[in-house]
Structure formats: C-alpha cells, structure tokens
Chains A and B, each alone.
Chain A
Amino acid sequence: MRVFLGKLILFLTVFTLLNTVFASIVDDDLTANRRNKYHWVCSRGGNTYDIALVGSSRVEMTVDPRLIDEALNTNSINIGVSGGGAGDQYLLTHHLLTQNRVGTVLYQIDYLTLASKFTYDFKDYIWLSYTGEPEVREALIGHRGWMHCLAWKIFPFLRLMEFSSQYQLFQVENDGRYWDERKGGQQRDTPFAPESQDSFCVYRPVPLAIEYVRRTFDLCKKNRVRLILFQAPLPASLDNVSQFPECTALIEELAAEYGLEYWNDSALYRNRSELFYDNHHLNSEGVRQFTAVLTARLSQISIISPAGIQQSGSPSTATQSQ
C-alpha cells in the first residue's frame, strides 16, 4: 500500500508540476493578444485622453470616438466591452486612469450594468492574468469567493481547464491594430447571432454590481476626473422583451447622490427602429447620428482637460504615446 500511495503521490506531483509549467507559458501569451479588447485596454499606458467612454457593448458599439475627435479636436478612447459587467468596467477604468491621463469619463450606465445578466457577469478568465494588482485580486475574491481564488492560485492550470472555451491556448501575438484604428469603438449592422432572439427578462439591480458602480464613481473622483453618466438610445421594441424600472430609478438616485450629470438618451430614438440592429444596439447609421448628438452636447460644456484646465468645446491637443 505504501509503495502504491507513494507512486501515486509522485505521479500526481509530476502532473501538477508539468501542467503548472505549461500554464505559466500559456499565461504569458494570453495578454499578448491585444485583439482582445480587455488586454488592449490594459496595455494602454502613458497616453493622454480628453474623453474616455466606459461601459458595456452599449457604448462600444454606440459611440464612435473618431467622430468626436474630428469635430472637437480631442483625443478620445472607447473602453466599452461586450458583455462587460460593472466589475469589469471598474477594473478597466482603473487601468485606464492609473496608467494614463484622462480628462472626462462618459459612463454609459443602464439596466445591463446594474443587473449582471451577462453569460459571464464578471470576466474572471481575463482578470486572472492580472492578479498582481490588488484591485483585481479583491474583485476576483468578491465575485468568486476566496476558496475558488485559492484553488486558482495553488493550481494555475485549473483556470485554463475551467475556461478552456474562452482561451486560445496556442495563439499568435496581436498588436491590437484593430482597436487602435477604431479607438476602441466598433459598429455592426447585423446581429452577431441572427437566429438568437431575446427572451423576456426582468432586470433588477444586483448588490455587487451597485457596489462596483459606486467604486467607479469614487475612482473618478479620486483621480479628479470629470464624470458624466449617460444612457444610450433604446428602441421601443425592447419593451416587449424586458422590464427594468428599478434600474432606471436607481440610476437617477445614484446620479443625484453623487451630484453627477446624467444624460438619459434612452428615449431619443424610441420610434426609429431603422437605427438599431437589435434590441440593445444602434447600427452604424445610428452610431453616426448619436455620436453627433453627444458631440454637440460636449461642445456646449466645459471639458476638463487631463491637465486640469477647464476648456469649452476646444479641449487639449491630442497626444498619444502608445
């Protein structure tokens, strides 16, 4: 029995070591794929941005930062991510603000931000590549529990097994040119999965999501960044498949509590279904029109430049180092 157990332990130890080595090799490659929006955002450093657009796909595919920059001679970035929850948005904003100089954050906040109804409410498989940062560790423990995080730490290959469908284990590097060219925004005119239809859903605020929205507000305040909340347009057809009055009320409460500007454009194109490609997102024509609306509004207000000087409609000259 002793010999058997001894050999079994040796076998499992060798297995653990070999797979740990493999995991560490793969892990280095994961963040090198800047075609992934999260890694692209986290790789930004030493830049100066007048405007940063934060949120989910409802900002990534709703506002084109290039149009704003053309009109206002600014340097903007869109760090909205498809399926990004409040925790993801907080961590991305944290990366952006601590590694770059940002003047104004436009935070697209809505029912998707507060209700955490995404397939992955928190992209732990992304953030496990950044566990060296205390904020990331805290968010991981907050979302997944300390035991799960401990298992990931002791057996680094577990995360690769758990999220094997999310990782390309043997990929080539990508320099993120796709996002560089678009400044983080992208447009779409047809649904990603044409056959999929929304099933009826009631969106209710989730405490953890509310906590990370508050953290994002505090983060902007701490970094002396002007924060404006807004909500992108929604089509009337969304009413047929969803209800979210609690989320709407909470956004207004939060804006009032923090004394933030809130541009609620959710009803702007309510009866213009030709500007949407699905129940949540504008198509490229819708993006063009809505970005023009935002640009016009931004030109009317004072935008705090990253240097801290208030400007009206003519923010700082664009600079970009990376």
Chain B
Amino acid sequence: MLFHSLEFFVFFPVVFACYWALGTHRRLQNAVLLIASYVFYGWWDVRFLTLIFASSCFDFLAGMAIEKTDSQPKRRYILVSSLVFNLGLLGYFKYFNFFASELKAALADLGLSLDFTTLNIILPVGISFYTFQTLSYTLDVYAGRMRATRDPLAFFTFVAFFPQLVAGPIERASHLLPQFSENHEFSYPNAVAGCRLILWGFFKKVMVADFCAEQANRIFDQYTALGGWELVLGTVFFAFQIYGDFSGYSDIARGLSKLLGFDLMHNFAMPYFSRNVAEFWRRWHISLSTWFRDYLFIPLGGSRGSRTMTARNLLIVFVVSGLWHGANWTFIAWGALNAVFIMPVLFIVHPGRQSDLVANGRLVPSLRESIQMLATFAVICFAWIFFRSESLSHATAYTSRMISECVNHPGGVLVAFRRYRFEPALLLIISLLATEWLSRWNSFSFDRLPLPIRWGLYQLTFSIVVWFSLYRKPTEFIYFQF
C-alpha cells in the first residue's frame, strides 16, 4: 500500500479514528497499530508477513535471552545467532542471486563450469529497513545500552510500525521502542506539525520526484543520443528525484507518526546545502549513516587508529552501505566513490564537525560557501550516476559521453535547455530549494505568515498534490526496492 494511493487515503483515517477512540488504553492502541501495520505490509504480499513475524519473534526472544544470562560466551552466542538469522534472511532474499551469478562468472573465468541456477526470489519490500531496525535492538541490549522489553505487543509493533516500515527512518530501539510503552495523548500542535510534514512530503514525492523522474528516466534511457549538457541535467534531475522521493517518504512517515503521537528521527537535514561530502553524509539518510557509524564504523575502530586504518574503515562502511542499497556492482561503486570523495575532507581539509547550517542567520551565502556547496553537489551528482545506472558499463559510458560532449560542445548547455520541456521540473526544484533555504534562515518562520497566506499556501499545495496524484497510477518510492 503506497502512501499516495486511494487505499491509503481510506486506510489511514480509519486507523487514526480507531487509535484515538481507544483513549489512553495503551495496549489496545498498540494492538490497533500492529493489526494496521500487518494489513499495510500484507497489502503487497501476504507471504511477506511470515518474514517480519519470524524476525520479530527471533529478536524478541534473543533480547530476553541476552538479558537473562550473565555468561558472556552465551550472550555472544545469542547475538551471533540473531545476526546470522537476520542477515541470513536479508542475504537470501536480497543477495543470493547476485553472489551466485558472480561466483559462476568468476569460476567461468578460471575455466571451471558449475551449474548454478539462480532462484526466482521476490524481494520483500522494506526488508533492509526492518532487519536493521531489529538488529539495532539486539545489539543495544547486548551492549547494555537498553533493557530488553518484556512486552511482545510493544516490540512487534515497534518492528512493524507502518509509517516507517518499508523505507525508514531506521529507528533505534532505544528511541522508538519506549514510545510504545508510554500513554499517548492527542496533541494539537503535534498534529498540525504532522499535517504540514505530510503535505510537504507529498509535494516532494508527487511533484518534485515524479516530475524529475520523467526527465531523468528519459535521459538515462536515451543517453547515447543526447548531448553532454543534457546528460549533466539528467544527473541533476536524478539527484532531486531521489531526494524528493526519499525525503518525501521520510517526511510523510514522520508526519503520520506525529498524528499518532509518535516521534521519529530526522532523516534528512537539507543535504544539498552541504559544503563538503562529509557534511553531506551527516545530512543524508541520517538514520542509516548513524546506524553504520554506531554498529560498524566504531566497532571497526572508527577514526581512532592511523589514517590508513581510518581510510580502511571508511571504505568498508561505504562499500557495505552501497551493498545495503542493492545487489549490484553499481551500488558498490557508488559507495566506494563516496568513500574516496570523503577522505580528502577528513585527512587534508579537516573542517571539523561543521554541523552548523550554511549561512546561518543570513539570507545569502558567501561566495566561498556558494562554491563549496556547488562543488559538493557536483561530486555527489557524479556518484549518483553510478547509483542510477543499470550496470557499471552503463555508468562509465554515460560518464565518458557526458564529459567528452561537454568538453567538445561547451555551448550545448543552451541547446539542452531549449530543446526539451525542462521548465516544470526545474521550477519545482527551485520551489523545493527556495522553501528549504528559507526554512533554514532563522528569521523566517512559516508560523509568522498571516493566517490567510498560510491557509492559501496549504490549499494550493494540497490541491496540486491531489490533482496530480489521485488518479495517476502511483509510482513506487525508489527506496522500497532496498
């Protein structure tokens, strides 16, 4: 069930009404959420429910078993069992065919022939997200960062919580799980904030992402017949397609959760205003970046060792992150490229944390900041080419054509804009960037706008979203495939 489908427009009001009709009966509310989440997930394929149920059972029992025993070897054994079970499921459903075919190709290169057959496996929607979410629980219990829950209903609902089930944010058990043990009272400011997030998320998805997708798909499909600047535009459109798509989903997820009285973590913090790649990764898919930081980078040694060790750890984290996105060499290359781009920032420029917002308190950035943002955006877009391409050869052919054509025909940029109807998508990108830029500026606050203007903007956005989504065949969110 997609958020921008007719079914969901019926589903959510029913869940909302049932949930709040139960007042503060926490367990009943959790039961409603669990049933709703299983209906939501089972809407894709009922068979997927067995996986999420099995995963929930295993980790619930693993958490209790870890806490119950004082024996460190036993605790480690249980943890490893949980890792093997969860990563085994993920590996089987997501990576079996990839590794089988790669092994077959490698053996063929050595002159060996093995009769591997790939399996007809359907990738369960969102398996990477909920697997990492349940793993964070077992790892946190093992590390003593949180107590194991004894409430199966709360735990099962935490794993399957429908607003963020299929595309995150990947919540930490220590943040979300306790919320299922609290009584929730309806909060008007929370609900209004939730509605705003939902509306903004739908705008990003239905307008920005889908309009950019049309252009990006066309350009990536026909890249051999297009000029260099058109290919540059293709990467820009894809950059905003994936941002609108994924951050739109996260906003809707956070908004829906707020309407139900829950708080989910920020997943995006205006990443395209970053001044270097390291800052970009602190602002992009925050829930996954911090997951890898806490559960992979730091256990590997983080940046405590030599530069070589840090570089190795970074490379491992980014390659695994790429592999998390999908079983394809393009994702691995994308991850490795980001690792390569981030290293100079950490080792040479060494900008410190730089977590403050760019041009904080100012409407216009300085020339230096503008150049930094543009340069960062350019290298991120370059990496997106690998993420978007179907194969490494496709990515390299696209890249080499883009560079050679741009060098040979520098004036083609004007032709690229004239020849195709890029205006709607560009206008939407500008609207997105302008709104985010203004919301970054402290002096600007949406709440300060006069009521009629605020309501006018709500009406306009809502109308645009409904007009463009209600009868259009809903397009899936990109991150559902991960």
Contact = CB atoms under 8 A, between A and B. Distances in A.
Contacts of A15: 459, 462-463, 466
A14 B470 contact: no
Contacts of B462: 11, 15
A18 B470 CA distance: 17
A164 B473 CA distance: 13
Report the interface size class on chain A: 10 to 19
A158 B188 CA distance: 31
Given A11-B458, A15-B459, A161 B467 contact: yes
A18 B463 contact: yes
Nearest to A3: B188
Contacts of A19: 463
A172 B195 CA distance: 38
Contacts of B188: 1, 3-4
A19 B460 CA distance: 10
B191 A164 contact: no
Contacts of B466: 15, 161
Interface SS of B by simple majority: helix
Interface in B179-198: 186, 188, 191-192, 195
A171 to B, nearest CB: 17
B291 interface: no
B464 to A, nearest CB: 11
Nearest to A18: B459
Nearest to B191: A4
Nearest to A14: B459
B116 interface: no
Contacts of B459: 11, 14-15, 18
B420 interface: no
B186 A1 contact: yes
A162 interface: yes
B20 interface: yes
Interface string A1-31: 1011000100100110011000000000000
B341 to A, nearest CB: 42
A37 to B, nearest CB: 24
Given A15-B459, A15-B463, A4 B192 contact: yes
Contacts of A8: 195
Contacts of B195: 8
A288 B20 CA distance: 72
Contacts of B463: 15, 18-19
A158 B471 CA distance: 9
Contact of A4 (B186, B458, B471): B186
B185 to A, nearest CB: 10
Contacts of B191: 4
Contact of A164 (B455, B458, B471): B471
Nearest to A8: B195
A124 to B, nearest CB: 13
Nearest to A160: B467
Interface residues of B, number: 15
Nearest to B466: A161
Interface string B439-482: 00000000000000001001100110011001100000000000
A11 B455 CA distance: 8
A11 B454 CA distance: 12
Nearest to B469: A161
Residue from the set B455, B458, B471 with the largest chain A CB neighbour count within 10 Å: B471
Given A1-B20, A4-B192, A19-B463, A161 B186 contact: no
Contact of B470 (A1, A4, A11, A161): A161
A11 B463 CA distance: 11
B143 to A, nearest CB: 40
A267 B191 CA distance: 70
B254 to A, nearest CB: 17
Interface string B149-186: 00000000000000000000000000000000000001
A98 to B, nearest CB: 33
A137 to B, nearest CB: 22
Nearest to A11: B458
Given A15-B462, A18-B463, A162 B192 contact: no
A158 B463 CA distance: 12
A162 to B, nearest CB: 4
Contacts of B186: 1, 4
B446 to A, nearest CB: 16
Interface string A143-186: 00000000000000010011110000000000000000000000
Contacts of A3: 188
Nearest to A162: B471
Contacts of B192: 4
A316 to B, nearest CB: 48
A158 to B, nearest CB: 8
Contact of B471 (A1, A11, A18, A161): A161
A66 B365 CA distance: 70
Nearest to A159: B471
B154 to A, nearest CB: 24
Interface in B46-92: none
Contacts of B467: 161, 164
Contacts of B470: 158, 161-162
Interface in B108-143: none
A177 B458 CA distance: 43
Residue from the set A4, A15, A19, A163 with the largest chain B CB neighbour count within 10 Å: A4
A114 B462 CA distance: 42
Contacts of A14: 455, 459
Contacts of A158: 470
A19 B195 CA distance: 20
B186 to A, nearest CB: 5
A163 B470 CA distance: 11
B287 to A, nearest CB: 28
Contacts of A164: 467, 471
Contacts of B458: 11
A253 to B, nearest CB: 39
Given A4-B192, A11-B462, A162-B470, 16 more contacts: A3-B188, A4-B191, A8-B195, A11-B455, A11-B458, A14-B459, A15-B459, A15-B462, A15-B466, A18-B459, A18-B463, A158-B470, A161-B466, A161-B471, A162-B471, A163-B471
24 contacts: A1-B20, A1-B186, A3-B188, A4-B186, A4-B188, A4-B191, A4-B192, A11-B458, A11-B459, A11-B462, A14-B455, A14-B459, A15-B459, A15-B462, A15-B466, A18-B463, A19-B463, A158-B470, A161-B470, A161-B471, A162-B470, A162-B471, A163-B471, A164-B471
Which 10 A-B pairs give the minimum distances between C-beta atoms?
A162-B471, A1-B186, A4-B191, A161-B470, A161-B471, A4-B188, A161-B467, A3-B188, A15-B462, A15-B459
